[in-house]
Structure formats: C-alpha cells, structure tokens
Structure 1
C-alpha cells in the first residue's frame, strides 16, 4: 500500500525518485485509480498524486478555476518543476487550465478521457441520492467491462453521494466543467501532449480525442480498444506502455 502524506492543506502520494510525474484524478476519482501507473513508473520517476479537494472546497470556489488554483498552490508548496502532468477526465481539464497559466513548469502533458471540450457528464444526469442501483449503473457506465466497477468502488461513490454537501460540490464542479469550454485556449499549448483514449469511451467519446488532437499543435493520439473512460484502470499495461514509449521518443527528440 502506498502511504498518503500530509502537508498543510494537502493530502498526496509521493513515491519514487527521478523526473516528476504529477497525476490528477477525475470527479469521482481516487488515488487508487492510478495504482498501475504508480507501480510501473515509480522505479524511474517521482510519482506525485494530490488529492483534489472536490468534496471539501468552499462551495463558492467549487469549480474549475478553484481546482486549478489548488494545483498551483500544491506545486508551489512542493517546489515542483519540469513536470510530466497526467490528467484523467476532470483531472485532464484541470491540467489544461494549469498548463495554460504555468507552461514553464510543465514539460509534457498527458490527457486521458479529458473533459474540456465535451463530456456526457454522469451519463447525462447528476447523481440521485440514496439509490445504490443508480450509482452502480453510473459507475459501471464509466467502464467497458461493467465488472471493472468493483463493489468497493461502487460503495465508495455511493457513500460520497449520500452526503448533501458533497453532492452540492459535485454538481457545482460538473456544471463548471461543462461551461468551461477550452477550444479557443488550447491552441496556445506548445508543449508535447499525448492523448490516450478509450475507443469505447461513452463520456468523452473518441471524437473528443480527435478534436483535442486537431486543436493542440504538438499532440499525439493513441487509442485503446475495448476501453471506456479510465484507460489507466481498465488497461494499465497498455496505458503504461503507450506512455513509456512516448516519453522515450520525446526524450530522444530533446537530446
């Protein structure tokens, strides 16, 4: 088990040594979403995952800019630089906003199932409190194989949605993400960017990856078949191999 560390307002994972890789989880994401990436990359990288304050931030600040500000404070506190920034779903969206404001701190950007252009949020509806079956169906909708949604994962999301304050924040952040379209801004991203997408993504469909690829000048796009919205959870080995190969190629180009 990886250790969750604390410093001031921040809870995070910090494993390994080497080039810094910062991972940003999605709206219902958790640190556990990145287990396969931590195992694979912490032998040669310093892998850092901040717990985004999705359920705890002040309601007035519950939105994309508030989350990007949080990442800025985290990076400053941890004195991070020259980061490989990897974001899934809402985490990719936060990563885009952060990168546009702080491009000198990011050497590489990786988006997987990222929002920011279009997303079918929660499969088109917001969480219904108190219905376990509904939550199970929504969590399963995130994956190509429904059994990827373990009972532990469904229980975790169900517990979260039972809390009215947490639900209010989830809805506020989801609506903020839908309003915050980045099509005009992301043409300014100059750093090498990798898009790793599930070919069967129902929440940010493959069309979204093609649109990111068209708009971000220095981007590469890779698809994983039989994969939905969380490639690093559904196909960790394929995800890691694509990411490893791309990082090696980019390092050779820079050398």
Structure 2
C-alpha cells in the first residue's frame, strides 16, 4: 500500500490538509463526516486510485485544517469544498460524502451541479429528522459543553458504536481523532456545527427542507450506500433519500453499521469502482 502523505493548500485564507493519490484525469473527492478526518479513507484511497485521481480533504475546522472564523451556517462547508476544487483547478469531480459529508456533498451537488459528475451519499445526513438521543442531548446548552471535552476512552467507545462488529481500524482512528480533539477550539467547533443542524428533536426542519427542496437538481448519477445496522443515521434515512432523489440507486450492506468503508472496505471499493466504470460506459441505471 502506497503511503498517504499530508499536503496543504490555502483555501480562502484557511490552511487545508488533503491527501491525493493517482494521476488519472478522472477525479474523486472524498468528504468525511462529523468530527472525523482524512484518516477515515485510509482503506479506500489506494484501491480507488488505480483508476482515478483520489483526493480526501479535512473539512473546514476538522483534522488539520484551520478552524473557521466568525459566524457561519451549514453552507460554509459546501462553499469551502467548491473553493478547494477551484484552487486545485478541478473543473469537474465525482463526489463521495459520508454522514455529515454526505449532507455537504448533496448541497454542493445542488448548488453547483455543473461541476459534479456523480454523487455517492454514504450513510448521509439531512434526509429525515430522527437521530439517536446522544446527538440530540449534545446539542443542549451546558450538557453539550461537558460532553465536548476531550475524552480518549469516550472517543473509542463512540467509534465502536458506529460499527456493527468491533474492528481494529476504529482504535487507530480514535487515537488520531483524540489528538485533534485537544485543539483549544475543537470543542467549540463541534458544538457550533451540531447546533447549526440539530436540536433536541433531531435534525432541524430548515436543514431537511433545504435538502429536499432542491433534489430535482441532482440529475447526475447518484448512488446511495448504507449499513443495514446503522445506529447513528438509521437505514430508514436511506430509503427516504432514494425516494426523493430522481433516478438514484440504493445499495444496503448487511451486517454493517455507520462506516461501510471501514467495516467492509473490499466490498465498498469494488462497488465504487464498478459504479464509476458504468458511468464511463454510460450504463448507470
């Protein structure tokens, strides 16, 4: 496996970390989920890079990318990814978004459909209101501030809950995320992002309305991937996404939680490579 090395670029004044592998003209951009980083894709990038140029970036505020300044709403993230594409001279790309990254990828594809060749929504947020109680509690005043404090054991436990079965990859990922959580501004960022999208009742209606209102703009090939046993964003969200996104295709992984790319990396990588081959042959759907 080729070593993945940190690279940095300035995007709108923010030092941004990314990993890049492969040299093909076809570009895949990987967007991680809430509180995660590029390390999420370690078992996928080299495989996908056999046929494509694959780029994973730390979203604004996460991993080793600078923290955002001032007030912002959820659109700061798709705007940031689009600015990253422009800075990297990427005119068109295939987007893959996991969890919160799925919401960001969906919004970016809605805002700039001319720049997105295809969209893969992986355990993506933003399609239904209901989410686990611990996320809803995290959005509350005072309690959220306590829960956001760095806690290595808590991170390991949280990542284990993301998967259907215990896997070694989550422990290594938890160690890296704990390092990032020690940044003095990380707790405040986590709370701000959570409270922008979530309240005690679940995902805010404003978020759901925004996503659902513009799904007709998603005319590119859309693949939705979910774990049958996802306890973070329930599999019922996948069926809703498939229903409201025109001509989308849904694949459910059995015996799988919220992290299909880590729980079943070979199956995941093969599915994506086949998806992109079908697009190149104009045989999607």
Displacement of 1:130: 4.8
Displacement of 1:85: 0.5
Displacement of 1:54: 2.4
Structure 1 residues 90 and 240 mapped into 2: Cα distance closer, same or farther (>3 Å)? same
Displacement of 1:175: 2.4
Q: 1:100 pairs with 94, 102, 110, which one?
A: 110
Following the alignment from structure 1 to structure 2, what is the Cα–Cα distance between the partners of residues 189 and 212?
Answer: 12
Partner of 2:193: 173
Displacement of 1:57: 2.8
Following the alignment from structure 1 to structure 2, what is the Cα–Cα distance between the partners of residues 91 and 228?
Answer: 16
Moved over 4 A (4+): none
Kindly indicate whether the alpha-carbon contact (under 8 Å) linking 2:148 and 2:187 is maintained by their aligned counterparts in 1: no
Whichever structure has more helix as a proportion of its residues is 1
Matched ranges for 1:1-255 at <5 A: 1-8=3-10, 9-18=15-24, 19-55=26-62, 56-118=66-128, 120=131, 123-124=134-135, 125-126=137-138, 127-148=147-168, 150-178=170-198, 179=204, 180-181=207-208, 182-253=211-282
Name the Cα RMSD after superposition.
2.2
Displacement of 1:213: 0.2
Aligned length: 255
Following the alignment from structure 1 to structure 2, what is the Cα–Cα distance between the partners of residues 149 and 253?
Answer: 35
Q: TM-score, normalised by structure 2?
A: 0.82
Deviates more, 1:32-41 or 1:178-187: 178-187
Gaps of at least 5 residues in structure 1 are: none
Following the alignment from structure 1 to structure 2, what is the Cα–Cα distance between the partners of residues 146 and 201?
Answer: 14
Structure 1 residues 52 and 128 mapped into 2: Cα distance closer, same or farther (>3 Å)? closer
The secondary structure found in structure 2 opposite 1:12 is: strand
Structure 1 residues 158 and 36 mapped into 2: Cα distance closer, same or farther (>3 Å)? closer
The secondary structure found in structure 2 opposite 1:6 is: strand
1:120-143 CA-to-partner distances (Å, cap 9, x unmatched) read 368434334254443332221111
Kindly indicate whether the alpha-carbon contact (under 8 Å) linking 1:199 and 1:227 is maintained by their aligned counterparts in 2: yes
